[in-house]
Structure 1
């Protein structure tokens, strides 16, 4: 299936809003523009092979620059907005005679370009470096070469040949990039609107979750929301921490979102909500991620359409914009480089929604790896549960396990952190109760031996 047809099918059938479909890359229209550019070049005698050779000559070391294709005026203000593409095809001509330097051009094309050069005001002279055989005293235009450099052992000597670049008038490429400019700006504006809309949803969710998880409220859903967010963070749906926060592709994100939903269902997390507003907010949270995924899909298919249309442009014109276009965009205002919607919303989730529910991992004792109940804050500011600190002191281990400071033996009841203890009791009541039971058993074992553990189990 040709890409144009597949692209249209996806836009129509993947569930995108009509506004998105209207803003998508107009692949078919751009293809028609490419055909116009191709015909216009052919009328000037610049077929793909000839023009490609002329443009490639600029990339060869010690060779003449016969042609150049620019997308932006090099002297233009790069900070202006919106960016305006100004494609220009420049052909090198002799500064004095106006004759094209590229001998591969047909006589008709050479005559046309020479007349065009002579009809335009002379531009600034440019020294063109050529490498000639050392036995020759003149170049093909009859100009005298400078004396050879006696210190050089190279088999050729340089000749500075003045030339200037003449712009070849084209119109179809301006139409192509005009359409592209409009659509890039439209996509950037659409993405900004969608990011703002989803951002507002995150803010609204935050207000609901904050109220529903308030520990003093009746029927608080603190534990249920904590489990939702723990599973969400572990799923790494849109970004992978293993690859330096690299954004995942849409297919991978879709699979991970599906697994996240399945795991929530398997654990019955949604059934654990006690408040109606929590259940409604949970549905909104899942839907938010589905919309982020849809935005990522839309971004990817438009990126693919852009890549393919630039490749097609190069194939039919040899103007090699696929390699220069990214560099051109790097000079454009940031409006053409918006942060992806998925990335922006994930950042907001990480900074404003997920932190509403304290994570148990942030309050684990680094010795026993359970909650630091009856927390002891050492002079080095590291926190341990009181039971682990007692064990360290009994073993006469004065070094803090984290920073190796000599602070363990000096700690006493004054190092208890009552504010943190109240916080843990408030936000982690289940974990605190479990740790209290563990401490009671550990104290009994210390006092009565291992038989206390078995006796206690029998009594219970």
Structure 2
């Protein structure tokens, strides 16, 4: 199936809003523009093979005597339809107007010479004198001549200038493409704003249903939401969390969809939704899942439009040899300040907001574990270096006369005393991790009993033999 048909089919059948479909890359229209560019070049005697050879020669020899195809940036106040000014330039002898590249056909060479004599010198296009080609020094008496295998070989420092070949269809191509890219960027910005507002609203609900309160402690869904967010982080739906090289890399839409499905299946398997004590929690969870579905849809839409742009640039190069597949994306990144045609990843922006404003509403136990026993830092001790340990582990370190912090190796352990207790953190842990605190408290009591009575202290009581 040809890409144009497959692209249109996906736009129509993947459930995108009508305004999204309208804003998508007009692949077929751009293909028609490419055919116009191809016909224009053919009329100038520059078929794809000839022009490709000329441009390749210039690139291989790093010599501007041949030809250049430039995408010039406009002024900062240019409209989207005129963001690029494409120019096809051919080098000619400054005095005679004769083209310097022997790959050109006689007809094209005559046309260029006539054009150079009637065309004013391009502003800023006067280039430095040609370097002396060492292979032509022996022919200095002949005045130089076209080589059968390459460009005209100058026998002395020979001034030249660039003549612009008049093309119109390439300007039409870039006008359409840049206008559509601008529309896609605006669409993604609007979508990011909409989803961001949803995250903010969802945060208000989650904060309400998870806020610990002594009077309604039995009706708080704090533990359940903590489990939801733990599963969500572990699922790494939109960004990879595995491997040093892949960590933080955005997944493709197909992988993200599979990860989202696994997350949803795990929520159902653990029956978290039915275990909620508040109706608002169940509604909020559905909204959270729908938010991720919409992020995935935005990612999928951006992905297929990125592919359409790569395909159309590749086709442009194949039909014209003008090599814009790499130069066009690079030029997009060099637009004047305030102009952008590269839509930012909506998934990346919303994931960042989730990780900074929503997930922290439900504190994670991993952030409050003692680095020695890996249990909750109950009765936390904050050392002078800033690292936190549970009081039991600090006592063990001091008894062993280990003065260096296990994390930073600072000489701070033996200096710690009751003044290093962090009562504010202790209250916070009691409030947000009541079950873990009770379990750690009981564990500490047993350990203290063993310290005092020996191994005969079993199950929290002293056994008399």
TM-score w.r.t. structure 2 length?
0.90
Residues 1:320 and 2:319 are matched in the alignment: no
Question: Retained in 2: the 8 A contact 1:221–1:278?
Answer: yes
Q: Tell me: CA distance 1:415–1:197, structure 2 relative to 1, closer, same or farther (3 Å).
A: same
- Provide the C-alpha distance between the structure 2 equivalents of 1:354 and 1:65, rounded to a whole number of angstroms: 60
Q: Tell me: CA distance 1:454–1:429, structure 2 relative to 1, closer, same or farther (3 Å).
A: closer
Pairwise CA distance, 1:251: 1.5
SS in 2 for 1:166: strand
- Provide the C-alpha distance between the structure 2 equivalents of 1:47 and 1:193, rounded to a whole number of angstroms: 43
Pairwise CA distance, 1:201: 0.3
SS in 2 for 1:70: strand
Of 269, 293, 298 in structure 2, the residue corresponding to residue 295 of structure 1 is 298
SS in 2 for 1:134: helix
Question: Retained in 1: the 8 A contact 2:446–2:460?
Answer: no
1:29-428 residue pairs with structure 2 within 5 A? 29-61=29-61, 63=63, 65-73=65-73, 76-77=74-75, 82=80, 84-123=83-122, 125-126=126-127, 127-131=129-133, 132-138=135-141, 140=143, 159-216=156-213, 218=216, 219-241=219-241, 242=243, 243-333=246-336, 334-428=339-433
- Provide the C-alpha distance between the structure 2 equivalents of 1:370 and 1:110, rounded to a whole number of angstroms: 82
Q: Tell me: CA distance 1:158–1:245, structure 2 relative to 1, closer, same or farther (3 Å).
A: farther
Pairwise CA distance, 1:34: 0.7
- Provide the C-alpha distance between the structure 2 equivalents of 1:260 and 1:139, rounded to a whole number of angstroms: 78
Q: Tell me: CA distance 1:405–1:178, structure 2 relative to 1, closer, same or farther (3 Å).
A: closer
- Provide the C-alpha distance between the structure 1 equivalents of 2:187 and 2:37, rounded to a whole number of angstroms: 29
Report the RMSD for the aligned CA atoms in angstroms.
2.3
Pairwise CA distance, 1:276: 1.1
Q: Tell me: CA distance 1:409–1:323, structure 2 relative to 1, closer, same or farther (3 Å).
A: closer
Pairwise CA distance, 1:271: 2.1
- The corresponding residue for 1:437 is 442
- The corresponding residue for 2:150 is none
The count of corresponding residues between Structure 1 and Structure 2 is 443
- Provide the C-alpha distance between the structure 2 equivalents of 1:78 and 1:159, rounded to a whole number of angstroms: 41
Map Cα deviations across residues 85-114 of structure 1 (whole Å, 9 max, x no partner): 111111111111112222222222222221
SS in 2 for 1:71: strand
Question: Retained in 1: the 8 A contact 2:67–2:91?
Answer: yes
Question: Retained in 2: the 8 A contact 1:239–1:248?
Answer: yes
Question: Retained in 1: the 8 A contact 2:136–2:144?
Answer: no
Pairwise CA distance, 1:19: 1.1
Mean alpha-carbon deviation: is it higher for 26-35 or for 53-62?
A: 53-62
In structure 2, the gaps of 5 or more residues are 146-152
Pairwise CA distance, 1:305: 0.6
Mean alpha-carbon deviation: is it higher for 444-453 or for 103-112?
A: 444-453
Q: Tell me: CA distance 1:325–1:139, structure 2 relative to 1, closer, same or farther (3 Å).
A: farther
Q: Tell me: CA distance 1:138–1:211, structure 2 relative to 1, closer, same or farther (3 Å).
A: farther
Q: Tell me: CA distance 1:62–1:284, structure 2 relative to 1, closer, same or farther (3 Å).
A: closer
Map Cα deviations across residues 164-210 of structure 1 (whole Å, 9 max, x no partner): 11111111111111110110101001000000000000010111111
